[in-house]
Amino acid sequence: MSSAAISGERTWLRVVAPVSVGVFALVLWQVLVSLGGVDDYLLPGPAEIVEEFLAFAPAIGAAALTTGTNALVGLIVGALLGIALAALAARWRILDLMTAPVVAGLAVIPIVALAPVLNSMFGADSQVGRQTIAALASFVPVFVNTLRGFRQVLPVHRDLMRAYAAGSGQVLRAVTLPTALPFVFTGIRLASSLAVISALVAEYFGGPRGGLGAMISTSAATSAYARAWAYVFAAILLGLLFYVVTLLLERAAVRRRH
């Protein structure tokens, strides 16, 4: 069997295997709900959730757009700050030592504690608090992975660039960034899911209504449990969309680098 055929078979298996597991889980879920006598308020069936998803598709789309926008803004800001600070920390050891405890502190900040404070700080009609939370959540994995990537550069490569009289900016563009690129995108891929989760959770604690988190809370409070699960399903799709887009960008960047 040729290498192309083997590669195609592996790709096919990577797609079919998780889809098959997901379909089996949904069928099992529906059977347990239908035949097991589980009450709707405990666990609605997939068929009922899909029905609610289709019936409220415009509202779900608008809520997903709000949450997705907040997550995207936070992801971009957090990633840019993480890359910039990692470049400085890799350049100056003293800055690395100064930022290490700060990053460690940011990594353990609970969203449920920070969200009410930021929502009150920026006002009830502003999305800035939620975007800030998404940015903080995105910053940590991007910074950690990017800094690790910058440290992968061999000293001999930097010495060679200096022998060619290259400046610090030229060394960064020609050697450091290309070497660190896979690590940068790994951090961004991890941050993409965290940005969606953070923006979603922040919507439970004040601020303007309209996002997926707020709609899940409202639907559950009014006993519309199938509708709440439909919003949860939309949040899952949004997280998968962010993850897949960043994964495709990573593969394109790495392929171009090679």
79 band by pLDDT with thresholds 50, 70 and 90: very high
For residue 126, give Cα distances in angstroms to 65, 122, 132, 136: 16, 6, 11, 17
% of the chain exceeding 70 in pLDDT:
81
CATH fold of the domain at 45-257: MetI-like fold (1.10.3720)
The crossing angle, in degrees rounded to 10, of helices 57-91 and 225-257 is: 40
User: What secondary structure letter does DSSP report for 199?
Assistant: H
CA–CA distance, 59 with 70 (Å, rounded to integer): 17
What pLDDT score was predicted for residue 201? 87
12 band by pLDDT with thresholds 50, 70 and 90: low
186-201 confidence digits (pLDDT tens): 889 989 989 999 988 8
CA–CA distance, 148 with 191 (Å, rounded to integer): 16
What does the angle CA 73 – CA 77 – CA 78 come to, to the nearest 5 degrees? 115
Other C-beta atoms within 10 Å of 42: how many? 8
Among all chains, which residue has been given the structure tokens 């400046």?
167
Q: Where are the domains of the chain?
A: 1-38, 45-257
CA–CA distance, 87 with 146 (Å, rounded to integer): 8
Closest Cα to residue 199, out of 130, 117, 116?
A: 130
CA–CA distance, 220 with 235 (Å, rounded to integer): 15
User: What secondary structure letter does DSSP report for 151?
Assistant: T
Mean pLDDT taken over the chain: 80
N- to C-terminal Cα distance for the chain? Answer: 27
140-174 confidence digits (pLDDT tens): 899 988 888 887 765 655 656 665 556 666 666 66
